[in-house]
A and B are shown apart, each in its own frame.
Chain A
């Protein structure tokens, strides 16, 4: 399925815009974008997937973390054109068939979020961490999410949330997305 969200680029030179094909949460989009458009703005403003947030502009906070071909990336530090032909997963793609991803479940069960702003990026980093290391130690979790800043929780319950999800995913290997 391809959804065309073509839009007139404002750049002056023909080489300053480009048509890209990106699969986001399983849906392929064909879009003409300015080359300078950041991936996070493509997701938030063109596709209206506003779960991915912007916090710092300098690639320090990780609120904009999404998975590109399964690997975490700070979407405010990539150009949309760089994901042409790739597959992107955002927080909106975590829940599958009305069933929460174990990481989502862990974050709410263990009170791993307060204001909710860092949460989508934090959860995407957690999903990738558990995919690579299904049974991480506390220190591995803390290192694994060190590209994401949280100002509310003090990380204690985020660690517990990831442990919860890890356990749940081990118990039911096919659970979750």
Chain B
């Protein structure tokens, strides 16, 4: 349970970090909050030649809301995101999820960017960003690009990021009037990965029906999943029992869980069904002004 030896770099700018990553050609790992990576080093599941510690880069930790986006610096700690007034008021899904990731101490160090890109299907923020239709801004040697969260995840611990790119900011579309969102995590105990978890965002039309919806699922597939059919099916609905039944069934269909100590496949699929229904109901209630 002791990390192997590695070279350590603590760059003070993103450009320097990208240059170091480029020099190490895939042999380096980015050290953000370290709450997942250091564990993998101790188990020697990860044995990188070098660690690029980006904790010394200034100005990567912020939560700002402008006309178009909620902008989250990649090094924002999970507890800092939870403490943001904007998040509490308008991004319920993030407010909920940031209270459920790992435990309160781990959330002091774990970062939003790290949780979003690490790639463990049990990480909670990816499903939220899928539901929110967020984008990740990544910087590489040739400059910066944005990648839709819904196009980011390719497999467990695998994504479209090049080895010399770093995610620096997350763009969440600004919460529209009449929007609401929620995250439900079913876990065996504090500190566990989800048995099943569901992120839901909705925007209501003037008549109270859903105009726009996004549903993301945690830990029921090789990556966090965007339940596209379920999201589409929610549009135009008001959240009646029949609506919830349809949407829940479609979300369960989108899930491809594996059996483990948390339960068998049919159970996990049913939990997606149940928690989708409950979370849609909560998101709609919040959109209508409830908490």
Contacts and interface: CB of A to CB of B under 8 A. Distances in A.
Contact of A62 (B42, B53, B105): B105
A59 B33 CA distance: 13
Interface string A145-165: 011100000000000000000
B10 A13 contact: no
Contacts of B2: 36, 38
A59 B7 contact: no
B50 A15 contact: yes
A15 B9 contact: yes
Interface string B42-70: 10000000110101000000000000000
Contacts of B55: 82
Interface residues of A, number: 32
Contact of B109 (A12, A15, A77): A77
B50 A57 contact: no
A39 B120 CA distance: 25
B79 to A, nearest CB: 8
A7 to B, nearest CB: 15
A72 B41 CA distance: 21
A18 B51 CA distance: 13
A11 B5 contact: yes
Contacts of A60: 103, 191
A147 B103 contact: yes
B191 A15 contact: no
A81 B53 contact: yes
Contacts of B108: 71-73
B7 A35 contact: yes
Contacts of B3: 36, 38, 79
B104 A144 contact: yes
Interface string B81-116: 000000000000000000000111110110000000
A16 B5 CA distance: 7
B16 to A, nearest CB: 14
Contacts of A84: 10
A73 B105 contact: yes
B38 A79 contact: yes
B241 interface: no
A49 interface: no
Interface in A57-78: 57-60, 62, 65, 71-74, 77-78
Nearest to A33: B8
A174 interface: no
Nearest to B1: A57
Interface string B5-18: 11111100000000
Contacts of B8: 15-16, 18, 35, 79, 81
Nearest to B105: A147
B43 to A, nearest CB: 8
B173 interface: no
Contacts of B34: 77-79, 82
A34 interface: yes
Interface string B267-285: 0000000000000000000
Given A15-B9, A74-B106, A146-B191, 5 more contacts: A35-B8, A38-B42, A71-B108, A77-B35, A77-B39
Interface of A: 11-13, 15-16, 18, 34-36, 38, 57-60, 62, 65, 71-74, 77-79, 81-82, 84, 125, 143-144, 146-148
Interface of B: 1-10, 31, 34-35, 38-39, 41-42, 50-51, 53, 55, 102-106, 108-109, 190-191
11 contacts: A15-B8, A35-B8, A59-B38, A60-B103, A62-B103, A65-B105, A71-B108, A74-B105, A81-B53, A82-B53, A147-B105
